[in-house]
């Protein structure tokens, strides 16, 4: 899974912004969502992203996986992700 080629990702301190250059849509990311987006191109699965986030944050693995799935679902609906 990766960002579409028309998506620009910018990080400001711990938060991020996705900008769709084809339609002007903007998607704001909190700190955790920013980390997820940063891991998308280097991790092979949601579980791998979740394990990395669990190392960084004090949270249950199931909660992290749920948050990742929710973000990915939302980003797909907004047309920010390639499969």
Q: Into which CATH architecture does domain 2-82 fall?
A: Orthogonal Bundle (1.10)
How far apart are alpha carbons 46 and 42 in whole angstroms?
Answer: 11
Q: Enter the pTM of the model.
A: 0.91
Q: What is the pLDDT of residue 29?
A: 97
- Mean pLDDT of all residues in 19-40: 95
Residue 80: pLDDT over 90: yes
Asked whether 53 and 36 are in contact (CB, 8 A), the reply is yes
Q: Across residues 4-27, what is the average pLDDT?
A: 94
DSSP H/E element including 18: strand 15-20
Q: What is the mean pLDDT of residues 17-32?
A: 94
pLDDT over 70, % of the chain: 99
- pLDDT confidence of residue 82: 84
Asked whether the beta carbons of 68 and 49 are under 8 A apart, the reply is: yes
């Amino acid at each position: 899974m990766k960002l579409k080629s028309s998506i620009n990702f910018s990080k400001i301190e711990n938060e991020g912004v996705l900008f769709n250059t084809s339609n002007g849509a903007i998607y704001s990311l909190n700190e955790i969502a920013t980390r997820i987006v940063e891991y998308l191109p280097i991790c092979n699965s949601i579980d791998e992203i979740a394990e990395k986030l669990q190392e960084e944050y004090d949270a249950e693995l199931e909660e992290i996986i749920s948050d990742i799935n929710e973000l990915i679902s939302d980003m797909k609906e907004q047309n920010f992700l390639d499969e």
